[in-house]
Every structure is written in structure tokens, then in C-alpha cells.
Amino acid sequence: MNKGPDSLVPSVYLKTGDETPWPRDKSFFYLLTGSGMFICRNNRFFHSCVPTTEWPSELAGQKPFCIVAYPKLAQRTFETVVGFFDEVARVFSSEAAVLICWNDRSGEIELVVPEQVGIVSASAAGYVSALEVEYEIPVLPAHMRLIGDIHSHVDAPAFASSTDITDEFYRPGVHLVVGRLSNEPPEFHCSVVVDGVRFKADVSIIASGYERRRPEDVPAEWFRRITTRVGNSAQSKYDKLRPDSADCSGDNQDLIAADVDDMNAAVDSSVPECLRRTTTSQDI
């Protein structure tokens, strides 16, 4: 951006290399560099370049936004995932995780259950409780894209724990937590992460619906991906961090629209006009 002196828009120059020329004819301008924004001046007595965190007041404000158009898990599939979590909790007292992938070839959503280790704590009295679940993202074929994940918190609340927030920072997509498994329905907590920013979301952005868990539908091979071990920590992370803790402000941005069908009604001036119309999502 580089406007004349009579324009309301300030002159902003981009420094793209050491050879970028210094605009000597500008008495005042901004320089956007790899080191941040600078205020620059030329006058009779000095030429200056000073870092600033104050952006040009002539610029319009912008709020973060995220508009989602994820394909949705069929209700029965989602209920099977919850059934899987329920069985793993019942048998192993452990958390479990399922990855949500998009198959570019078939145009369908697919679940991938990675090899995983449920970390549990065991008290002297023999009481076993879940701590966390560890897994590596498997190498996926080029036509398979990871778009999200679901994991359980067994009977703890559904929320983004500090471990979840750290794990998901560099993993863009939908992150769904299923907690309070002793209840039916259990508790759901859904968020979308992009470029390290978390957006609150409703479970309906990724699941078509939920009535009851279906452990009877769980493929046997899913259970073969689970092993457990007793962790070192004698204290559950849930004892250290509660969802109402001030430290657990993981979901700090509202999703502009939880569903693209609602998008036109939900957009505000932060969303460019060209993004206000799109195709609708579909149940898969």
C-alpha cells in the first residue's frame, strides 16, 4: 500500500530486502518489515525509523473469524465412536482417541483409530483412573487428510485440558472431547483450531446427531490398537486443571458460524463479502 500525501490512507511500505529503497520524499510513512511495523520520518534534521505497536489509525479493525464447512459424521458412526470410548473406559479405565480424516478420492469422511497408549494412574488401593492418551499421527496416504480428532475424558468433564491445548496448537481442525461417560448423553466439548487460535464450536459442526452410544457396533480391530500403562503421575490432570479455571481459557474466540447454512445470517463486517456465500455441508 502506498498512497499519496492527500489520501486518507497512510503510506505503508513493505521491506522485502536490504536493497528496498528508502522513500526520501515521504515526510511520514510506515514500514512493514520482518521485524515488525516501524514509524518512519524524513525531515530537515533527521531520518528516523522507530518500531511501533500502534497500527495506522486510518485502518479498519478486524476480528478473527473462522467459518467452517466440515463434512459431518453420520449419527450412527458418531454413536459408535462414543460406544468405543465407553468400552475402553469400562475395560481399561482409559481414555481413547479417534482421528477424523477426509478421503479426497472417495469424497467421504473416514475414521482412523491410531495405535495408542492409555496412561492411567493406580492407587495403592488398586483404584485405576485415566490420565491421558498418547498416540502418534500415523502416516496417511496422500489422498487422506486429517481434519480433526475425538478423544475421551472418561468420567471427567469435557473440556480442552492444558495437554489438549498444547497438543492441538499446531494441528488445525476440529477437536472434540467426550466426557462424563457415565451419563447418557455424555458431555461434548468442541473447538476448532487454526493457526494456533481456538474457536468455540458446537458438536453439530462435525456430528449429525446423537441419541445413544453403540458399543455393539465397534469394530474389533479398534480395540487391538489400545494398550495401557501406569503413568508416573499420581495426580490426574483433571485434579490440576478444571474447566472453570482461569488458566483453561483455551476456547477464546467465537466461531462466526457453526454451520455454513447459518453463515449468511451470522456474518458481520469482519468477514469479507466473497466468503459470505458458499456451498452447504452435507452429511456423510
User: For the chain, first and last CA: distance in Å?
Assistant: 44
Applying CB under 5 A, among 79, 86, 164, 251 the residue interacting with Zn ion is 164
| Residue count, binding to Zn ion (CB under 5 A) | 2
Q: Which residue is nearest to Zn ion (CB)?
A: 164
The distance of closest approach from Cβ of residue 189 to Zn ion in the complex, given in angstroms and rounded to an integer, is 9
Q: Which is nearer to Zn ion, 182 or 270 (CB)?
A: 182
Q: Which stretch binds Zn ion (CB under 5 A): 5-13, 43-51, 59-67, 160-168?
A: 160-168
CB-facing half-sphere around the CA of 42: CA atoms within 13 A: 9
The distance of closest approach from Cβ of residue 9 to Zn ion in the complex, given in angstroms and rounded to an integer, is 46
Nearest to 228 by CA among 155, 91, 95, 119: 119
Tracing cell 463434512 back to the chain, one arrives at 71
The DSSP symbol for 179 reads E
Q: Which is nearer to Zn ion, 66 or 154 (CB)?
A: 154
Strands 187-194 and 173-179: antiparallel
- Is residue 167 involved in binding Zn ion (CB under 5 A)? no
The distance of closest approach from Cβ of residue 65 to Zn ion in the complex, given in angstroms and rounded to an integer, is 25
Tracing cell 451470522 back to the chain, one arrives at 266
**Single-letter amino acid code for the residue at 80:** T
The distance of closest approach from Cβ of residue 118 to Zn ion in the complex, given in angstroms and rounded to an integer, is 12
Query: SS3 for 44-68, per residue?
Result: CCCEEEEECCCCCCCCCCCCCCCEC
- Is residue 161 involved in binding Zn ion (CB under 5 A)? yes
- Is residue 168 involved in binding Zn ion (CB under 5 A)? no
Q: Which is nearer to Zn ion, 30 or 159 (CB)?
A: 159
Binding site for Zn ion (CB under 5 A): 161, 164
